[in-house]
Chains A and B, each alone.
Chain A
Amino acid sequence: MLRKLRIGLAIVAIIVLTFFFLDFSNLLPESVQSITKIQLVPALLSLSLGILLLLLLLTLVFGRVYCSIICPLGIYQDVVARLANLFRKKKLRHKFRKAKTILRWSVLSLVIITYISGLGLVLDLLDPYSMYGRLAVHLFKPVYMAANNGLEHLFTAFNNYTFYKVDIHFWGWVSFGLAFASLLVVSVLAWRYGRSWCNTICPVGTVLGFLSKYSIFRLSIDHERCNQCGLCSFNCKASCIDNKSESIDYSRCVSCFNCMESCNKKAVQYLPFWKIKKTDTAKAISKATIKTDTSKRQFLSVLMLSGFLLPKAVAANFNQELVNGLRPLKRTIPLMPPGAGDRKRFNSLCTSCHLCVSKCPGNVLQPSLLEYGTEGLMQPQMLFDKGFCNYDCTLCTEVCPSGALQTLTKKEKHHTQMGRVVFVLENCIVYRNETHCGACSEHCPTQALRMVPYKGNLTIPEPHPDICIGCGGCEFICPVVPYKAVYVEGHEIQQPAKAFEDEEREEVVLDDFGF
C-alpha cells in the first residue's frame, strides 16, 4: 500500500517535472513550477524558509521520502533499476553493503567547503535536482523536439497545423558532455546497485540521511515475526537492510517500502520509533560501517577540483586584427540574465539547472564556458546568436527556483539594464556602403539606437546607452558579418536603465486623405 502510494507520487512528480523542462509550448500551467521550487538545494539557496521547514518536517516525520517522491534524480534511478529488471532473467538481488560513511561526509564537506570559499561549481555539479535538469535539457529535450518535428511532418502532410517545427538546440560540449557523463554514471550505478549514488555521493542524500536517523516513522523489523529469509534485503535498493542482524541503516533508507511489501511474514513495519523494540544489533551495524577505502576517491576529487581551477587563466583572448576591414568586437563582461543583479550573488546562487535555458523563448540564455570564470561554468549567460531577449518577457526570472534570478515584473525589467549598447561606426553598413539599413534601431524597444539624419536622405544609428536595457535585439539582427556593428557590453552589477522620454506631441487632426 505505502509502496504503491510512493510509486504513484513518484511517477506524477517525475513526469510533471520532466515535462516542465521539455514543455516548449507552455502547455503546463504556471503553478507546475512549484515542483522545482520544493527541491532542497534551490530552496536552501533562495532561503525559502517555509519550504525548508516543510522538507525538514517531512524528513523528521517520515524519513527520506524526499529522495523517493520529490527528487527527480532519485526517481530516475528507480526507473532505471526497474527497467534493468525487465532485461534480466532473474530479478536483481540487492544485498546489504557497508555504509560508505567517510566518502559521503567527505563529499558533503567538499561541497560545503568549496561553496563557502566561493567555488559553487562542486555543488552545481552534484545537486541532484540540477543534475537532472541538465539531463532533461541536454539529453531528453532534443529527443522530445525531434519527436515533435516528426509529428509536425506527419500532420502537416495531411494539412493539419496543430504542430509546428522547432529548432533542436545543442548548447555546447561542456554541458552536453557533463550531462551525458552524469547520466552514464548514475544510470550504471542504478542499474547495478540501486540507490548507491544517493548513498555515496549525493550531498542532499547525506544531509537527509543524517536527519532521517531521527525521524518519527521508521521501517523496522519485528524480530518475533522475522525468519531471516532475506527477501527484504534482496529488495532493498539502498542496500541498507542487514537481515542477519535484522537491522536497518536509517541514514541510507529512502523509505521506498519495497521491503515491507516483499515480506511474507509482515515482519517489516513502518512505525513511530517508540513502538519499535530496540535490540543491540542496531548498534552493531553502525560499528560495522567504518573502514572503507576512500583515499582513491578523495584523491580523484581533489584532482578534479584543481582541474576546474586551472583554466581560469586561459579565459578567452580575442583576435584584434581587422577582418574585411571590420573591427572585431570584444565583449569583456558577460551578460547575466534579467534579475541576476550582482554577479557574485548570481554566481553563488545559480546551480545551473538550465531550466531558464530551456524556457527562454528567444534562445538567448545559453550555458557559459569560462566567461564567468570557473565558478560560473555552465551558468546561463545571454548570447545573441540565436535570438534576443523579448522586451516584455520575464519568464526566466519567474521559473528560477534558486533565487539566482530574482522575479521581475515587466515594469521592473523595462528599467533594468542588463548591458549597454556599443555602436561600432566603422562596421556599420550605412557608414561603409552608404545605403539604408536601420535593422538595429528597428529591433530596439527603447530606441537606445535611434536613426538620425546622415548624408542626404540616409539615417544612421545613434546610441543612447542610458536607456538601453541590453536585450541584444540590435546585436542579433545587425547584418554585418563576421563582426557586427553593434554589440552589448555586460555589467558586473546590473544597473537601472533610464526611462525613455515620450516626445511631446500636438494633437493631429486628420480630416482628409492628403492625396
Chain B
Amino acid sequence: MNRRNFLKTFALAGIGLAVKPAKSLAALVPEEKKAEQAVDMVAVMGGEPDQMFKRAIAEFGGMNRFVKSGQKVCIKPNIGWDRVPERAGNTNPLLIAEIIRQCFAAGASEVTVFDHTCDDWVKCYQNSGIEAAAKAAGAKVLPANQESYYRQVELPQGKILKDAKIHQAILDSEVWINVPILKNHGGSGLTISMKNYMGIVWDRRTFHMKGLQQCIADICTLNKKPVLNVVDAYRVLQTNGPQGRSESDVVLSKALFVSPEIVAVDTAATSFFNQIRSMPMDVVKHLGFGEELGLGTTDLNKLNIKRIKL
C-alpha cells in the first residue's frame, strides 16, 4: 500500500509540475511569433473519439492539408488483438470511421485499412469493431495474413534493420495515416505511433531477435512517412499490455494526440501515460533511438502544440 500511495502522490505531483512550466513556457514565447507558427501537434481531452478528431483536424486547418483530392489513402490502425473496444487492445473503431469520413470529404479516391495482427486476423478484424466501422464508412478492409501481400523494401538509414517486407497497401498508397492506440507494452514499455509500424511488416520476430527498440526506430526510417499520426488515448491499457487480460487494465482517459511529428507525438503520449503509471522516457527506448536517427524531436518545447479540453 505504501508504494502505491507514494506512486500516486508522485504522479499527482508530476501533474502539478507538468502543468505549470507548460503554461509559463508558453508565456515566454512572443504572441505574434506563436500566431504565425504553424500548428505542429494538437492534443485534445475530454471528448468522444470521433468528436476529438474532428476538433483536432480542424485545428490543423482541415484534412485537405494532408489528403489531396483523388489520392489513395491507407489507414493503419492497431488491430493486433482479438479484443472488443472496451478492452483497449485495438484502436477505437469510432476514431477510424471518423478519419475515413474525413479522408473521403477531402476527396480521397480510395481508403484502405489493414493491420498485421497477432491474434487470428479474422477474429481481430471482427471483434475490434474496426472491420464493420471501416466498411460502413466506405473503406476497403484488406487482409494482411499472407507473406505475398508484402514487398521487400530497403532501409538504408536503419542501424541494424536494413530491410523489411512492407504491406503493399502502404507502398501502393499515396498517403498513409498512422492510427495507433496508446498502450503499455511488456517489451518496448509503450506501444504508440512508432511501434505501430510493426503492423505494416511481415517478419516481426527479426525485430525481437536483433533488438526490439532499435528495430522499431529503424523501421520508422522507411522513406514513406505517414502524413499524420493519430494517437488514440480514449481508453488506455495501463498494465499487462499490449493485450491486457481484463477490464481492470483499462483507464478511460478520453484523450487524442495528432501530429505529423512521430517522435514528438509519441513523447507527448508517453508523458500523458506517465500520469497514469510511471513511464520514464528511457524505458520507451525507441523514442530516443528515433531522435538519434533524425526522425524528430523528443523536446516538446520546440513545437507549437495546441492543447484543447472539450
B-contacting residues of A (Cβ < 8 Å)?
25, 159, 161, 164-167, 361-362, 387, 390-393, 429, 433, 435-439, 441-443, 445-447, 450-451, 457, 459, 477, 479-480, 500, 502-506, 508, 510-515
Contact = CB atoms under 8 A, between A and B. Distances in A.
B120 A387 contact: yes
B19 A502 contact: no
Contacts of A393: 120, 123
The number of chain B residues touching the other chain, given as a range, is: 35 or more
Given A165-B145, A457-B285, A503 B188 contact: no
Nearest to B257: A513
Contacts of B285: 436, 457
A503 B239 contact: yes
Contacts of B51: none
B123 to A, nearest CB: 6
Interface string B230-258: 00000000111111011010010111000
Contacts of A159: 140
A479 B186 contact: no
B212 A435 contact: yes
* A-B interface, 3 closest residue pairs, ranked by CB to CB distance from nearest: A438-B187, A479-B205, A515-B271
Nearest to A440: B186
B307 interface: yes
5 contacts: A435-B212, A447-B245, A451-B187, A479-B205, A514-B275
Given A25-B122, A502-B248, A510-B255, A436 B212 contact: yes
A513 B186 contact: no
Contacts of B70: none
Contact of B82 (A391, A438, A459, A505): A391
A362 B211 CA distance: 27
A503 B248 contact: yes
Given A443-B118, A479-B206, A436 B188 contact: yes
Nearest to A504: B4
Decide if the interface of chain A is mainly helix, strand, loop or mixed: loop
Given A161-B142, A500-B245, A514-B18, A508 B276 contact: yes
B212 A510 contact: no
Interface string B161-183: 00000000000000000000000
Nearest to B239: A503
B143 A451 contact: no
User: Residue among B143, B186, B213, B241 with the most chain A CB within 10 A?
Assistant: B186
Nearest to B307: A513
B24 interface: no
B31 interface: no
A361 B145 contact: no
Interface in B101-150: 118-120, 122-123, 140-143, 145-146, 148-149
B205 to A, nearest CB: 4
B64 interface: no
Given A438-B186, A446-B245, A515 B276 contact: no
B18 A442 contact: no
B290 to A, nearest CB: 14
A35 B43 CA distance: 56
B187 to A, nearest CB: 3
B239 A390 contact: no
Given A390-B123, A505-B248, A435 B186 contact: no
A512 B209 contact: no
Nearest to A361: B120
Contacts of A502: 246, 248
Given A436-B212, A442-B186, A506 B4 contact: yes
Given A438-B187, A442-B241, A512-B15, 13 more contacts: A164-B146, A393-B120, A435-B213, A438-B188, A438-B208, A443-B243, A446-B245, A503-B248, A510-B253, A510-B275, A514-B15, A514-B274, A515-B267
